[in-house]
């Protein structure tokens, strides 16, 4: 997956003239914070260099994870055409760009971001987004500003920066502000999966209907040390490779998400929860099923249409309807 061309050009302009050595150092520190899921009271994107490093390294991966999550929502709710967006912990407007790319109906957005550095960059990047965009500097740990419910509400890569109590309060408040669909995205780590499971439980208790990725509202059938997550391949630009000091022109962003709606989604098939394994005339899929169970399903050439569907399936897709 690539960034939309307008966003890609805007990022290049924002980073133009900044010494690569400064960005590489800031990118390394930022990467360490994300990998270790450090919570020391300091936002990951505090400071101008951290914000610029985010644009060059984390923005493409975060965009890819959020965009792929939106694809699942669009597939599960083809009637959903959001006109308004609320993004909590918006960073430089990542979810706005992903939502606008997924739904042309989107026209109005409220983006909440406490870091002045990343918010300033986001305002520049979103200046030509072609939509009405308002920004708020509210601190998510201290509560959200008063606002009206929105069709689409998003929270991506934020819960790991909050205390458990603050997470619960925020998820409850975001659901109150959701008139259509709430999407929460976290890193695809065991800890990120646990945070999503807790948010999933809160939303179900509040009466939400799950859209994706879960095809059921039963307890998660996955047990540790395994965990549920997905992956999206991200193209690395030359600048991206320089900042990450990497030679490979791509990376796989692992993520986990939950999408919950006010209205019940139509019945879906099973979710592919691991990379499919293909052989001669056969495909093995690990599936999370509508009855709340998980199992491996061997699909052979003799099954005709099902085999063709299985061959087209990627990790995270729906199989069978």
pLDDT of residue 263: 87
Map tokens 């520049």 to a residue: 124
Asked which of 216, 235, 261 is the last residue of a domain, the reply is: 261
What per-residue confidence (pLDDT) applies to 34? 61
* Cα distances (Å, whole numbers) of residue 184 to 5, 28, 64, 175: 25, 26, 14, 11
Span 21-38, average pLDDT: 67
Percent of the chain at pLDDT exceeding 70: 91
More confidently predicted of 43 and 111: 111
Burial class (CB in 10 A: 0-12, 13-18, 19+), 238: exposed
> Rounded to an integer, what distance in angstroms lies between the CA atom of residue 313 and that of residue 321?
13
Mean pLDDT to the nearest integer, 111-124: 92
Cα(27)–Cα(22) distance, rounded to whole angstroms? 9
How do the residues of the chain divide into helix, strand and coil, expressed in percent and rounded to 5?
40, 25, 35
pLDDT given for residue 161 in this prediction: 86
Q: Residue 274 sits in which domain range?
A: 270-319
Provide the pLDDT for residue 63: 97
Query: Residue 314 — pLDDT band, cuts 50, 70, 90?
Result: very high
Is the domain of 253 the same as that of 277? no
Q: Please identify, among 261, 286, 307, the residue that sits at the C-terminal boundary of a domain.
A: 261
In a shared domain, residues 152 and 172:
yes
Mean of per-residue pLDDT scores for the chain:
90
| Residue 162 sits in the same domain as residue 289 | no
Element (H, E) at 302: none
Task: Render 134-147 in DSSP notation, one character per residue.
Answer: EEE---GGG-PPP-
Domain total for the chain? 2
Same domain flag for 278 and 257: no
pLDDT tens for residues 204-224? 999 999 999 999 999 999 999
pLDDT at 163 over 60: yes
pLDDT at 88 (0 to 100): 97
End-to-end CA distance of the chain: 26
In this predicted structure, the answer to whether residue 45 has a pLDDT above a threshold of 70 is no
* 164 and 281 both lie in a single domain: no
Q: Regarding predicted confidence, which is higher, 188 or 40? A: 188
Residue with structure tokens 């870091």? 115
Residues 87, 182 contacting (CB under 8 angstroms):
no
What is the model's pTM? 0.92
157 and 290 housed in the same domain: no
Domain final residue pick, 211, 226, 261: 261
Q: 235 or 301: which carries more pLDDT confidence?
A: 301
**213 preceded by cis ω (within 30°)?**
yes
């Amino acid at each position: 997956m690539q960034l939309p061309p307008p966003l890609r050009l805007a990022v290049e302009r924002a980073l133009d003239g900044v010494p690569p050595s400064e960005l590489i150092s800031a990118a390394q520190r930022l990467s360490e914070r994300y990998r270790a899921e450090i919570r020391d009271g300091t936002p990951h994107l505090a400071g101008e260099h951290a914000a610029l490093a985010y644009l060059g390294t984390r923005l493409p991966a975060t965009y890819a994870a959020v965009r792929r999550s939106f694809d699942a929502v669009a597939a599960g709710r083809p009637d959903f055409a959001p006109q308004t967006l609320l993004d909590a912990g918006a960073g430089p407007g990542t979810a706005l760009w992903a939502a606008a790319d997924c739904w042309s109906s989107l026209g109005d957005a409220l983006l909440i971001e406490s870091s002045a550095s990343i918010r300033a960059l986001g305002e520049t990047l979103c200046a030509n987004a072609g939509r009405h965009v308002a920004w708020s500097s509210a601190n998510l740990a201290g509560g959200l500003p008063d606002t009206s419910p929105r069709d689409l509400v998003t929270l991506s890569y934020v819960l790991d920066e909050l205390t458990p109590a603050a997470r619960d309060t925020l998820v409850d408040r975001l659901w109150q502000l959701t008139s259509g669909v709430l999407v929460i995205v976290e890193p695809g780590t065991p800890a990120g999966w646990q945070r999503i499971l807790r948010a999933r439980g809160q939303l179900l208790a509040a009466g939400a209907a799950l859209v994706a990725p879960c095809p059921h509202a039963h307890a998660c059938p996955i047990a540790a040390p395994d965990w549920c997550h997905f992956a999206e391949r991200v193209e690395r630009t030359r600048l991206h490779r320089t900042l990450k000091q990497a030679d490979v022109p791509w990376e796989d962003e692992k993520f986990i998400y939950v999408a919950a709606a006010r209205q019940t989604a139509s019945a879906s098939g099973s979710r592919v929860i691991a990379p499919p394994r293909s052989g001669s005339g056969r495909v093995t899929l690990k599936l999370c099923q509508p009855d709340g169970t998980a199992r491996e399903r061997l699909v052979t050439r003799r099954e005709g249409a099902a085999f063709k569907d299985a061959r087209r399936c990627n990790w995270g897709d729906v199989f069978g309807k």
